[in-house]
Amino acid sequence: MRLDPEHLVIAPILIPFVAGALLLFFDDRERRLKAIVSILSVIALFVISVALLRISHTDGTANEGRVAVYLLGNWPSPFAINLVLDRLSAMMLMLTSVLAISTLIFSFGRWHRAGPHFHTLFLLLLMGLNGAFLTGDLFNLFVFFEVMLAASYGLVLHGSGLLRVRAGLHYIAINLAASLLFLIGVALIYGVTGTLNMADLAMRIPKIDEENRMMLESGAAILGVAFFIKAGMWPLSFWLPTTYAAAPAPVAAIFAIMSKVGIYVLLRLSLLFFEETPDMPGGFGSQVFFFGGMATIAFGAIGILASQGLGRLAGFSVLVSSGTLLASIGLVQVDVTAGALFYLVSSTLAISAFFMLVELVERGQNAVANVLAITMEAFGKSDEEEEEEEEEEIVGVAIPRTIAVLGISFVACSILLAGLPPLSGFIAKFVILTAMLNPEGLGQGSAIPAASWWLVALLILSGLSALIAMGRAGIRAFWAPPVETSAPRVLLIEIVPVAMLLFMTLILTVQAGPVMRFMEATAISLHAPLSYIEGVMEIPHTVPQ
């Protein structure tokens, strides 16, 4: 019996679901058994995601790739509950599995023992993420969205603590509101079109008459607001920095991909459902994406400069990343979308590594030292203190190996988040800027839109803000601590995941050519979704008996 590639499509959902449910039957004191089952599950996810990526990219034509569809129950489209694999969903599965391996290994140091059912919640979160990337209809997108959120509620509160509980309750309230908006938007769209299958919607939406058009666009707008909340677009982003900073380090690290779920859905649906018209040159909602993204970049950059804690700095870095992606999507240009996809992968890896690194760095600090550092920066030193320091002759200070490794990792994260050469963050921003300043359809010597220049300025200033803030934090943490601090106790199992993610960004840098060709092919297929629609609607099936 030959196993068709389509049968692998459901594996990223089944594996974490079965493993997570199985672990419920074991007592929490069986930590080693649970850890083994979890790590074997995420390794299996990684192997399968690699196979799915190869299937989606190498099979089919060079531009379209292959669209693999799994029909649950073997009913025909659009009645079937279907899972759809293309280049974009395969890329997101791959990114999720890489983050899952790294963050799970990091949690073995201490966090998986800090509360009950950590491994089950973690695996169910992966199930929700993978399902959201693979589903081909809006209703099951809501189902997987809720599975992901339900698991994230438990993970945010993992380890307890007053600050974590307060931030977690705010997080739950905001996402419940977003879920309600999701349902309202889906209901309005279904009421107008009579279907929730994404490919079927793409065929029916252009045929909606004018009297029902407003209802359809209202539903799409409400649905968009729900995902703008998840993506962290300003002014709907007030919950994100506090929640991510309060969450346990491995949870915040895997949450770096959760904000990209909103980006993924907005990118997928906006290009699939709405085409450019004379009234809407960029398509429905493109200006909201663009200007909302720029506002998010500005808000995130200001937050980065104002942050005194590394956790909040990382949280605002998520907003800058989301804003960059939203603004890039709003331009509705193939080359810009390709650069944005490269930036999505690079920034997610960097932010996830930084969240884990933050805990290791802050483990050797204390609250008194941080307060003293801020006070000294604000008011400076007295003349007597400066004279005493001048009298002391410091020949040299031996840097512990742990501090040296953490410092090198911190510098790498700083370069990535600021978008400096030579790492992948610079390449991603360079591709986006180049595509913006050489837009398709404009002849030689044509004027570049003023809005594009504003985005160029914001991207450069946000990188400068990250460089200033990271440099200030790095000096305080590694170069000139205000009081004597001991080197933090860091386990090998905790620093290796950080190194793994940073190494992945190095691979992106070295293999930038092949990776960009993949991103360009993905962007082309997204902007011309006919292959996606045909792949879903024309898939053969066996009539159930």
**pLDDT tens digits, residue range 228-263?**
998 889 888 888 888 898 888 899 999 999 989 999
The pLDDT-based confidence of 544 (bands split at 50, 70, 90) is very low
For residues 277-286, average pLDDT:
57
Model-level pTM?
0.88
The pLDDT-based confidence of 365 (bands split at 50, 70, 90) is low
Cα dihedral sign, 509-435-313-461: positive
The pLDDT-based confidence of 450 (bands split at 50, 70, 90) is confident
Residue 519 falls in which region: left (phi positive, over 0), alpha (psi -120 to 50) or beta: alpha
Torsion of CA 246, 252, 255, 259, to 10 degrees: 60
Asked if residue 344 has pLDDT above 90, the reply is yes
The pLDDT-based confidence of 386 (bands split at 50, 70, 90) is very low
Residue 424 has a CB neighbour count (10 Å cut-off) of: 27
Q: Output the average pLDDT for the chain.
A: 83
Beta strands in 200-242 (DSSP E): none
Q: Are 515 and 508 in contact (CB under 8 A)?
A: yes
Least confident range from 100-104, 212-216, 302-306, 490-494: namely 490-494
So what's the pLDDT on residue 398? 52
**CA–CA separation, 320 and 300 (whole Å):** 5
So what's the pLDDT on residue 530? 85
So what's the pLDDT on residue 208? 85
So what's the pLDDT on residue 64? 66
Q: Are 436 and 331 in contact (CB under 8 A)?
A: yes
- N residues, the chain: 545
Asked if residue 279 has pLDDT above 60, the reply is no
So what's the pLDDT on residue 4? 64
Angle value at C-alpha 287, between 283 and 289, nearest 5 degrees: 100
Domain ranges of the chain: 5-377+403-439+451-537
So what's the pLDDT on residue 278? 44
Judged by DSSP in three states, 81 sits in strand
Least confident range from 97-101, 111-115, 354-358: namely 111-115
So what's the pLDDT on residue 341? 94
Cis amide linkage into residue 235, ω under 30° from 0: yes
| pLDDT, tens only, 454-495 | 889 999 999 999 999 999 988 887 776 544 556 667 788 888
So what's the pLDDT on residue 325? 93
Asked if residue 359 has pLDDT above 80, the reply is yes
Asked if residue 503 has pLDDT above 80, the reply is yes
Burial 41-73 (b: 16+ CB within 10 A, else e): bbebbbebbeebbebbbeebeeebbbbbbbbee
Cα dihedral sign, 383-387-389-395: positive
| pLDDT, tens only, 161-194 | 788 888 888 889 999 999 999 999 999 999 998 8
| pLDDT, tens only, 7-63 | 888 999 999 999 999 998 888 788 888 889 999 999 999 999 999 999 888 765 556
The pLDDT-based confidence of 211 (bands split at 50, 70, 90) is confident
